[in-house]
Structures are given as C-alpha cells and as structure tokens.
Amino acid sequence: MLQKTSAVFAAAFALRLALFEIPGLTTLLGGRVEISTPITSFKRLSEGVFLFSHGVPPYDGGVVHQAPLLLGLFYPIISSALLVKLLYILGDIFIGYMLQEITALKDKDSSQEKKIRQYGNKPEAPGMDGLTVAMLYLFNPFTIVSCVGMSTILFSNLATVAGIWMGMKGVRSLAMFSIAAASYLSLYPSMLVFPVVLLLTRGVVDESLVKKVRIQCAGLYLASLASLFLLSFVLVGSLDFFRSVYGTILGVSDLTPNLGLFWYFFIEMFDQFRPFFIVVFQIHVFIFALPISIKLRKSPLFACFLLSAVMGTFKGYPSVGDAALYLGLLPVCSEIFKYMRYSFLIVNLYMYSSILAPIFWYLWVYLGSGNANFFYAIGLVYSIGEVILLIDTTFAHARREFEAQSPPEPSGGPDLGWDRVVAQK
C-alpha cells in the first residue's frame, strides 16, 4: 500500500514538473481567464512583488489584488523559477495528501460514518479509500491546469483543506488558524468557520462544553485573522491592501471576464443601481453559510463540500481552481454517489463548458466573429452544471439519510422507502 501511495504521488509530481517544462505552457494557461482571475493571477502577483522589492507601494496602482503576506512569501523566491514551480507542485501534492488523511479519519470516526448502516439485511457498501480520493484530486484536469497556470487560488485551497483536516483531527488552534488564513487570502472561506467548528465539537454530548468550545474557536479565529492583518500592516506599512484586496472581492471593481455571473451583469449595470445589486449578489453568496451548517450539523464534512461548491459557483471571481477544491472534497462523501440522479448530465456540462469556453473566447477576442454573449453563455452553462451538482448532491445526501432512518422491512413487509413516500405526497 505504501508503494502504491508513493507511486501515485510521485506520478502526480512528475506530471506537473513535466508540464512546467513545456515552453510557453505556463504563460498560456496563466493568461486564460478561466484559470487566472484578477485576484488570483500570478502575473499580477509578480508585478506586486516587483513594486514591493523596489520600495513602491504595491497597492497604489489598482493592479495588485493579492494579500500582502502572499507577496512576502514570494519575495525571496520570485527570482528562481524552479523554486516557484516547486512551491506550487508541493502545495498541490500536500492538498492531495490531506484529502487522503481526511478520508482515513472519516472512516475511523464513529460519529461520522464508521457504523455500517443496515438496509434490510444488506450492509451499505464502503466509500472510496483515501488514495482514490487523492488520485481524483491530483489528476483532475482542473487541478492540474490551475497548478501549471500558477493560479494563487491554490494557496487559499491549501489553507481551506488544512482547516478541514485539522478540524477532523480535533486540533482547534490549527483548524481556526487555517480557516483564518484562507479567509485572509480570499475572504469567502470565512463561511467554513461554522462547519469546521461542528467538526471540532462532533461527538461532544455536554452542551456547556460545546458552547465553551465554540466560543474558544471564535476567539481563535478572530485572533488569527487580526494577527494576519497586523503582520500585513507591518509588511507594507499601510492599510491600503484592504481596499485593493477585499474591496475588489466585495465590490467587483475589476470587470475582467471570467466564468462567473458578475462581470457581464455589472458591465451592463447603470452606476446608480450598482451598489444595491452588489450587496444583493454578495449576500446571496454568504447567506447559505448558516442555514447549511444548521441543517447539516450532523454531517459537517458534507457541509464543507456544499459551502465550497456555493463559493465556487456564486463568488465574484470564480475559476476552475475553485472547482478543483469542491470536486476534490466530493469523493470524500462518496457514499452519496449511488443516490445521485444527474451524474451523466453534470459531467457533460462540465466537459461541454471546458471545451467551448476557450473556443468562444477566441471567437470573441481574437477573430471578432463573436461577442461577449458567446463567452457569457458558456459561463452560464458552467454555472448551471455547478447548480445541478449542488442540488443533486443535496438530494442524494437527504435520500441516504432518509433511507438510513426508514429502512425497508427485511421480511418482505411494506416498502416504506423514499420513492413510495414521494409518490404518496
């Protein structure tokens, strides 16, 4: 088993390193709007590091939208292409390793899925093993192009998965620090505070102890976030990064086309209506966090996947790197796969949009034989695929929970399953 694991991770490492060595591929992928957005572009990050290294405030020009500590991370290594490539590759590999560990912890966790549920006299089939989950992440095309295209969403994904992993292990300080780091880098992962706290309190029966842990987690999260902001202020010497980083994320001030729903809508928007619709659109992203966490309080790992998918669907600057995160978390909950109804449609929508998005972009930007509607239409197809995935996985989880609580009679009694209940209603 150890040899097989080593071979998988070595192959993933070698594949990424080989792709990095193809001349012009990194530049090509890094310039694709489906992979790099204004807040995840390595080209903009490099410009920020250049300005910072020459004593020029990096956030004055309105070009750099990455967090200051990310500039500080790349400052000592930006001149070495090999070190930058290794940082991206190792970060991606480590995410795969953490997903493998999360799956192993989930299988051992008696409060999650350790018990074999009985459906009549037939036990439920086991889910995917950790190595398979890691393989599905490491060899996902979305994951690979995000890594080779040097999208900085990788570091946000790394912190997010680390927070979930530490939550599964019960390490409160590291779990909250990781989620705080992910929130610091791209803001939206702050929604995952709720399910990660549920991970940390799973199995705790004493209500007073649960309340104490929640308060402690909230304090750790806020302290970690404040510390990161303080370090950022010390590094760049001003608070201008708030406007450039988080102001851009929330205000969607850079309307560079991407796979999301915001850019085309706000290009057509009159300025006097823009603030209202910005608030509505952003509330629509964050409003799911608490209801999903409450409803899925007994399945916090599935809630983490669902909220990651919500972020990747409705955020202002989505990319395929966001899809790499939630598609990497989905196999961890593989027990719901047999209840999904639209898997074939979902896969086809992802493939359809992945192939046609570059074609429609080329028709619009380079040939001039199309217009913005071409590219936005394929972005809508991509978003429809994400929404159907959200609906189908939620249905599958609900159906599985229902059948676990109301199994059919083993002796040939009346069928009280989901289909009969739905038919009666």
Span 53-72, pLDDT tens digits: 988 999 988 889 999 999 99
Over 60: is that where the pLDDT of 364 sits? Answer: yes
**Cα dihedral across residues 407, 409, 411, 412: positive or negative:** negative
In 3D, which of 305, 307, 277 has the Cα closest to residue 291? 307
Give the model's confidence band at 32: pLDDT under 50 very low, under 70 low, under 90 confident, else very high.
Answer: very high
pLDDT attached to residue 424:
54
Task: Give the mean pLDDT of 21-26.
Answer: 93
Task: Give the mean pLDDT of 48-56.
Answer: 91
Are the C-beta atoms of residues 310 and 285 closer than 8 Å to each other? yes
Task: Give the mean pLDDT of 4-12.
Answer: 93
Average pLDDT, the chain: 89
d(CA 328, CA 143): 9
SS3 118: strand
Kindly report the pTM of this predicted structure: 0.91
Give the model's confidence band at 128: pLDDT under 50 very low, under 70 low, under 90 confident, else very high.
Answer: confident
Cβ atoms within 10 A of the Cβ of 401, count?
A: 17
Over 60: is that where the pLDDT of 46 sits? Answer: yes
d(CA 318, CA 312): 6
CA Rg value for the chain: 22
Range of the domain at 123: 2-424
Task: Give the mean pLDDT of 37-60.
Answer: 92
pLDDT attached to residue 208:
86
Of residues 271 and 350, more confidently modeled: 350
Q: Kindly state the tokens that stand for 148.
A: 């080779």
pLDDT in tens, 87-112: 999 999 999 999 999 999 988 874 44
pLDDT attached to residue 127:
74
Give the DSSP letter of residue 122: E
Supply angle C-alpha 296, 323, 98, rounded to 5: 70
Percentage with pLDDT > 70 across the chain:
91
Q: How many structural domains does the chain have? A: 1
Q: Which residue is it, tokens 């300005």?
A: 51
d(CA 328, CA 326): 5
pLDDT attached to residue 409:
52
**Cα dihedral across residues 350, 356, 358, 364: positive or negative:** negative
d(CA 206, CA 370): 62
In 3D, which of 90, 87, 68, 92 has the Cα closest to residue 77? 87
Task: Give the mean pLDDT of 208-224.
Answer: 93
- 80 contacts: CB under 8 Å, gap ≥ 6: none
Over 50: is that where the pLDDT of 372 sits? Answer: yes
Percentage with pLDDT > 90 across the chain:
71
SS3 354: helix
Over 70: is that where the pLDDT of 298 sits? Answer: yes
pLDDT attached to residue 126:
65
Give the DSSP letter of residue 126: P
Find the helix or strand (DSSP H, E) in which 140 lies: none
pLDDT in tens, 219-256: 999 999 999 999 999 999 889 899 999 999 999 988 88
Give the model's confidence band at 368: pLDDT under 50 very low, under 70 low, under 90 confident, else very high.
Answer: confident
Over 80: is that where the pLDDT of 420 sits? Answer: no
In 3D, which of 203, 99, 202 has the Cα closest to residue 160? 99
- 212 contacts: CB under 8 Å, gap ≥ 6: none
- 374 contacts: CB under 8 Å, gap ≥ 6: 360, 363, 364
Cβ atoms within 10 A of the Cβ of 268, count?
A: 7
Find the helix or strand (DSSP H, E) in which 113 lies: none
Task: Give the mean pLDDT of 36-47.
Answer: 93
- 65 contacts: CB under 8 Å, gap ≥ 6: 38, 39, 44, 244, 245, 248, 249, 254
Task: Give the mean pLDDT of 383-407.
Answer: 90
d(CA 263, CA 257): 6
Backbone angles phi, psi at 168, to 5 degrees: -65, -35
pLDDT attached to residue 248:
92
User: Which amino acid, one-letter code, is at 6?
Assistant: S
Give the model's confidence band at 414: pLDDT under 50 very low, under 70 low, under 90 confident, else very high.
Answer: very low
